[in-house]
Every structure is written in structure tokens, then in C-alpha cells.
Amino acid sequence: MTSSKLKISIALLACTLVAGCSSNGSKMSQGETFINTPPSDTQIENSVREQVSWMLDAFTPIAGQALPNQTVLDAYQFRNFEPFWIKEKQLDRAIYKLVDMLEDASSHGLNPVHYHLETIKEYLSIASPSSQQLAELDVLTTMALSSFAHDLSNGRYEPQLIDPNWQLDAPNDDWKNLLFLGSPSDITTYLPTLVPRHPDYQVLQNWLTTYQETARKEGDIRVNTGPPLRLGDESPRVAQLRARLVQLGDIRFSSQKVKENYFDRDVQAALMRFQKRHHLEADGTAGVQTIQALNISLAQRAKQIAYNLERWRWLPSQLEDNRIWVDLTDYRAHIHLNEQSESMKVVIGKPDRKTNVFYGKLTYMVVNPTWRVPMRIARENLLPKLQDNANYLTENGYHVFSSWSIGAPQLDPLAVDWQAIQPDELRYRFEQAADDDNALGDYKFMLPNKFDIYLHDTPARHLFNETERAFSSGCIRLERAEEFANLLAAGNRRTEQRLAKARASQQTTEVPLHHSMAVYLVYFTVVPNTNGMPEFRHDIYERDDLMKEAMGYAPFTPKESI
């Protein structure tokens, strides 16, 4: 269903549900007893029983996410269709607290429209509701609660439907618990606990609110295009630059008098801070790229933050203390082990061979590994090199086998007519021996997964000098693989001995780990930096465009729509 048709159908349904509303527009006050012969508790419960199934069917999925309706039905059956929000002919005041929470959904990058907010308000404005209208209000509010709780806990969207390469999703059922709590106040107290607990989420949420409010109250301060601005310049454009840096938080507002049009060292330092957190060259000069970044609207920045809040909701609510965190957009691996943390540079997959986002368990390492070339790489990389140079395999320490089956005979590479083979016809298996030129270096760290992705050493050390390091065919190359191996073995004498013995043997040897280690390959385009400011990274795999398409709404500011 298209977005416009969805809006029409929802509007028609809302009109149908609230048909017959009182024309005086009086609002049911918090905790107020209904007037004009209010319906009895039994009448309300009977109406709830009648309305639940119909309304669950009537309110179809919105914006790509099926409503968790079965849980709503189960919850009403559990309570024998007693209403959630009405007791002794009164509305519980917690329903108004929930409405406030739904109105605040945009602070999480979620759209209040998805939670039937305006329709709920219409019901609350009815002066003398019938038993059917009260039942409809109760069911619709519980549906909104259920959907919002699910979305806060698990994310609203299915990541694999947005991006097939995104396979990191950790749904949980914690959100269902609140539908079985004893009272509405317990429910609204429990709801905020479903929000991801990681500090990065909290910081980003605060910045999302800041960008939303600033966009609404001030609008964007733009820096006019023109020649680069640098230290010592004086012009009206410098005043614009200064004002924009104040607006974005890179210059703290001060009552001290300054010469607004003059590019002083405070402006230069603030501009360098801005450049660093937007992954630009921090030269303190406002050139074309820097001005373009400065002029990206607050609304657009808010949307980018919202995409990353959703990505956080796809992660487990609780991360392991011991874990390997491969931050793809920062090209770094962070090792958290035994209450200590280490960090090192990594090389990740090229844009046309994206490294998948997923969760795995590191279970063993291979010392002095051979490299069995994946078929895609053999067809796309190795075959063209062989067609240019028939001695390529011998010169680079490769062996070729007749097939991928166990025990397949080794072949003489010079006896094969490589020129006659088309890429899709290639069936040979290629293996590179363990030596100084091996593409895997001296170590391979295995986390069994369907993508055949692992962490490994590399002889191509020069690539770690690059700022953006997307050069591999999908696997993760580690800057300090030997140090990484030592960290994994540390503290377990048997593993340390096995590792030392494998190194001395110079033979390909598997070394199992004493305990498996959680590995997260994650992708964020906005993160808090060490100063708590939002750091906007290059979207190297263009995954934000996919998020924009999925989250195609504008809950942030009326000044701009997606």
C-alpha cells in the first residue's frame, strides 16, 4: 500500500471509530467519573470483548511494520477482557501519561503517527462516551502501547528487509511483559526501561532532541558560498560561520563581546572541532566541502541520528562484558576483555564487497594459515591474473586442485588453459601456502558464519596508513594480529602454551580458545565522540539511503519533509 493510500485509509478508519462523538468537544478529565448515566463495568467489558478482534483486524500494518496484535489479544484474554485503562467507570490517569510518551516518540526517531495518537486524543475529547466508544479507546490505546513498546525494545523495522547485508538483529520478548502487569501505572513505569541502555543511545537521543528543537525554534543558519574562509579574514560570511558553529555546539555561547565578522583563533579551533567530528580534513579553513557540511540542515542531521537510534534498537539490550566490537565506519576493532580495552585499526570490505553486519562467536584461531580462495574472488580476481600471467600461482605460493571435494588431486597450473575458461565456468580450488606472502598473514581468527567472514593478519601493512580503509573482499584485516592473539590467549596457561607451540612449529595449527568470544560487526553513521558531540561519519556502504527509504516520514520538523 502506498503512503498516501495508507494515510487515507487510516483517516477513514479513525472517522469511523469516533463517529457519533459529542459535538461539544469537552475532554474527559484525568480520573473523572463519566456523566449522563455512564456505562457499567460489565457493559464496558462486554464491549471490549466485541471490539478487540475487530479492531486488531481493522488497524492494518503501518509503514512496513506489522503491529504485534497477537500479544494484545493474548493480554485481553489473560485478563478476561477487563479493560486496561478504565476501572470503576473512570479513566486511569496513566492513560494521559502514556499519551505524553507517545507524543514524545519523535525523541527516539519514531513517528507518533504510527501509534494512533490523534485518534486516541479524539476519543479522549468525547464528553459522554458510550460503552462501545470506551471499549474502542481502551483497545486502541493498548494496541498503541504494544506497538510502541515493541518498537522501543526491538526497533520498528526489519533490518534484513532494508539491507540484505545487515544480519545483526537481536529481538527479545521483554516488551510483552508490560501487557501483563497489574495496573496502568505499572505499565507506564515499565515502558521507559525498554529503551536501549547503552550510553551512546542516550547521548544520541539527547542530540536528536536538540536538533529537533533548534530546527523548530531557530531554523538553519547558513554560510554563504564563496572563497575559502581562514584565520584573519573579515567579512559578513565569517559572522555566518561563527553563528552556525554556535548553533551546532562547536562554539559555546558567551556573553563576552567579540568581533563577529573577524575569523579569530576561537573560530579556527571551533571549525577544526567541527571538521574532525564530520571526518573532514581538520585544517581550520572553511573550504567548499566544509561549507557544504555546515549547511546540511538540522532536520537532515536529525534524520541521520534517527537512523542510528534504530540501529541501536536492533542490538541486544545487554552487551557482553567480554566482546570484540568491529566498528566498520571507524575502521577499528575494540577488544573488551577481562575489564581491559584495546583498540586497533582494521581494513574492511570494499563498497562492492561489503562486510556484512552480524554477530558471531570467536571460537578458535589458526596460526600459519593457508588461504582457500573463495570462489567469487577466484573468478573475479585470480582468473584475470592467471590469464595475464600463467606463472602467477607459482610466483605467489598458490596450489590448484581439480575441485572443491575432499581429496581432489593437485594440478600443474601450467597444464591448464586459463585463457579458455570463462569466470562462471571456473570450478578449481585454489589454496595459498602459509608463508610471508600469504594473504592471511600469520593468523586467522575464526567465528563460524554463513558469510565466510573472519578476522585475520595481512602482509599489506601500508593500507593501515590510509584514513578510509575499505580495501578487502569482505573479511576483516587486523593491524596488530599477533597482539590480538596474545590477548585472546592471556590468562589461560594451556591456550598460551598451544599458541607458543604453534608459532614455533611454523605449521598450520588450530588453537581453540578456552572461552568463545562475542564478536559484533556494527555499522553506525552517527556516534558520540569522546566529548559527547555527535560525530557524523562517511556512509561508505550507502546504508543511510536504505534507512531513509524505509523510514520515509518526517516527524522531526515541519520545515522539511523527506
Choosing from 334, 475, 514, 515, the catalytic residue is 475
- Shortest CA distance to 85 belongs to which of 171, 166, 153, 183? 183
Choosing from 456, 514, 515, 538, the catalytic residue is 456
The 3-state secondary structure of 250-319 reads CCCCCCCCCCCCECCHHHHHHHHHHHHHCCCCCCCCECHHHHHHHCCCHHHHHHHHHHHHHHHHCCCCCC
Cα separation, 431 vs 373, in Å, equals: 6
Q: Strand, coil or helix: what is 359?
A: strand
- Helix axes of 543-550 and 298-313: crossing angle, nearest 10 degrees: 90
The amino acid at 173: D
The CA distances from residue 529 to 203, 278, 291, 330, 532, in Å, are 10, 10, 21, 11, 5
Cα separation, 17 vs 62, in Å, equals: 17
21 is a catalytic site residue: no
**Using an 8 Å Cβ cutoff, are 366 and 446 in contact?**
yes
| Cα 537 from chain centroid (whole Å) | 13
- Shortest CA distance to 105 belongs to which of 58, 158, 144? 144
Beta bridge partners of 400: 411, 430
Cα separation, 511 vs 499, in Å, equals: 6
The amino acid at 73: L
| 165 contacts: CB under 8 Å, gap ≥ 6 | 354, 356, 357, 541
* CB-count exposure of residue 196 (10 Å: 0-12, 13-18, 19+): buried
Cα separation, 545 vs 562, in Å, equals: 11
**Using an 8 Å Cβ cutoff, are 207 and 305 in contact?**
yes
**Using an 8 Å Cβ cutoff, are 120 and 134 in contact?**
no
Which three cell numbers, joined as nine digits, stand for 400? 590448484
The 3-state secondary structure of 184-223 reads HHHHHHHHHHHCCCCHHHHHHHHHHHHHHHHHHHCCCCCC
278 is a catalytic site residue: no
- Give the residue numbers annotated as catalytic, written as ranges: 456, 475
